[in-house]
Amino acid sequence: MRSNLQRASARTTMLARERPNRIPPAHNLTVSAQPHAAEPELPSAVPLMALSTGFWAFKTLAAAHALDLFSRLAGGKGTTAGELTQTLGLHQRPAEMLLTGCAALGLLEKSHGRYRNTPLSEAYLVRGKPYYFGGFVQMADKRLYPGWNKLDEALRTNRPTTWDPAVQSSIFDGEDPLVLALFWEAMHSLSTMTARKLGEAVDLGQFRRLLDIGGGSGAYDIELCKQYGGLRATVLELPHVATIAAGKIAEAGLADRIETMDGSFFEQLPKNHDVHLLSMILHDWDEAKNRALLRRCFDALPSGGAVMISELLVNDEKTGPAPAALMSLNMLIETEGRNYTSAEYSAWLEDAGFRQIETIRFDAPAANGTVIGLKP
């Protein structure tokens, strides 16, 4: 007698002989003649997130600086979130979040349960230190941040947003004295560190008298005279700014080698200097004004004299680098100028009569190079 399994197997075999193999119905699906192309992989959205939240990092820095966090921790003093609630009058939750944020940004480090300044914060964010950068942080927070908030307006109108040219004669006209003080402290911070790098990149040993055109607080002159013992300098500035420069020069103990001169660089320049410096000046103005200023430099310099243009230079392709490109947009909200390329400056220098034009690159907060021309 056959088992049930044998009978089932025989029936299956018989049915298979009676019916040919059938392909299941397609259910209206269309089969492509070509293999289906793989979807291209999307780029990561992480860079967009970083761009979109960039202000988070800045406002963390600005708030910590406004609370004097880094100055309070100067000299290796550490703190905990609990201690910070007492010293700054903060609640525990935000105190812990602030310390965590600053540590994540490389502004603080934590060891043995205590947060301390990193070398970066200790060098640049402690009040009274020689290279204190806090002035720029404050200025960016109080003056530039609101102006950048209206960047779309500046793009549409081609006018600054940090002041109103319709009612003010200049960027300084009618400005809050506190904001102006922040501005000049910021410029001093930027210029001090940039001047140091410029002096290391360019040999100024052959020159004897430097004219710092629109020299602001005199930071370049102070640093360069420290580096070059045979150099003397003059800061050419508007009277109210020259007073600020004189104070900084006296603090540095260099009043015997650096003098200030009241005047406008839109007028004739003094002739008793063999090297001119234009640092963060030409980016304030349009091409016509810059060309005219370079011609005045040429006329005032002796044969063998030099002019140095120190700026964040946009590359000749006008694709970056980011610090120069963004500084250029900053000029949109502040001035009538922009950041120019090395090629543009070189052409203007040559047209003014300068020769042996070269660009020397370096890395600093307010400049990535200097374009130099010599008077034959």
The tens digit of pLDDT for each residue in 320-373 reads 999 999 999 999 999 999 999 999 999 999 999 999 999 999 999 999 999 999
Per-residue pLDDT of the chain (376 residues; tens, 9 = 90+): 444 444 444 444 444 444 444 445 544 545 555 666 678 899 999 999 999 999 999 999 999 999 999 999 999 999 999 999 999 999 999 999 999 999 999 999 999 999 999 999 999 999 999 889 998 999 899 989 999 999 999 999 999 999 998 888 887 777 778 777 877 887 898 899 999 999 999 999 999 999 999 999 999 999 999 999 999 999 999 998 999 999 999 999 999 999 999 999 998 899 999 999 999 999 999 999 999 999 999 999 999 999 999 999 999 999 999 999 999 999 999 999 999 999 999 999 999 999 999 999 999 999 999 999 999 9
Q: Which one of the listed residues 188, 273, 276, 283 is annotated catalytic?
A: 283
Report CA Rg, the chain. Answer: 32
β-partners of residue 373 are 307
The 3-state DSSP class for residue 179 equals helix
Q: In what order do the strands lie in the sheet with 369-374?
A: 258-262, 232-237, 209-213, 275-279, 306-311, 369-374, 355-361
Cα 78 from chain centroid (whole Å): 30
* Cβ 268 vs Cβ 236: under 8 Å: no
Known catalytic residue at 36: no
Which tokens hold the place of 161?
């947003």
The 3-state DSSP class for residue 165 equals coil
* Cβ 95 vs Cβ 88: under 8 Å: yes
Which tokens hold the place of 182?
């922040």
C-alpha to C-alpha distance for 118 and 95, rounded to whole angstroms: 18
* Cβ 305 vs Cβ 336: under 8 Å: no
CB atoms within 10 A of CB 312: 24
The residue assigned the tokens 């002041």 is 163
C-alpha to C-alpha distance for 219 and 240, rounded to whole angstroms: 16
Report phi then psi at 166, rounded to 5. -70, -25
Domains and CATH numbers, the chain: 57-124 (1.10.10.10), 192-374 (3.40.50.150)
Task: Name residue 95's amino acid.
Answer: A
The 3-state DSSP class for residue 278 equals strand
The residue assigned the tokens 């200023």 is 293
For every residue of 18-48, which 3-state class applies, written as one string?
HCCCCCCCCCCCCCCCCCCCCCCCCCCCHHH
C-alpha to C-alpha distance for 88 and 84, rounded to whole angstroms: 6
The residue assigned the tokens 């000299």 is 75
